[in-house]
Each structure stands twice: as structure tokens, then as C-alpha cells.
Amino acid sequence: MNTRHARQRRGRIAWVLTCLIGLSLVGSMLGACGRIGSPQPPGPRSDFTYNRSYPAPDR
């Protein structure tokens, strides 16, 4: 009878740990969401250095 309780306790501990790990993963994913919309660099559009053709037409 003592081994049955030990098995039940181990199963309960495993279930609780699985739930805690799952909640931690879900929480970290939701915490990494950040702002709504696409990221925008600071400053005016004329200072952006990406999405230009190569070589730059102003040279």
C-alpha cells in the first residue's frame, strides 16, 4: 500500500512540473510578443540605410 501512494505522489509531482514548465513556456512566448505592428527604426525615412538598391543611385 505504501508503494501505491509513492507512485501517486510521483505522478502528481510529474504532472505539476509539466504544468509549470508548460505555463512558463506559454508565458515567455506571450511576453516576447512586444508591440503590435511591424518594427520601425527611429528617425526620419531619409536616414534609413536598408532596402536600397546596390550600388546606391546617389553615388
The answer to whether residue 4 sits within a structural domain is yes
The answer to whether residue 38 sits within a structural domain is no
Q: What is the pLDDT of residues 4-38, one digit of tens each?
A: 778 888 899 999 999 999 999 998 888 777 666 67
The pTM (predicted TM-score) of the whole model is: 0.48
Give dist(CA 50, CA 33) in Å, integer: 24
What pLDDT is recorded for position 1? 53
The answer to whether residue 36 sits within a structural domain is no
The answer to whether residue 7 sits within a structural domain is yes
What pLDDT is recorded for position 12? 93
List the domain range (segments joined by +) for residue 19: 1-29
Q: How many domains does the chain have?
A: 1
The answer to whether residue 53 sits within a structural domain is no
Q: What is the pLDDT of residues 35-59, one digit of tens each?
A: 666 777 777 877 777 666 667 666 5
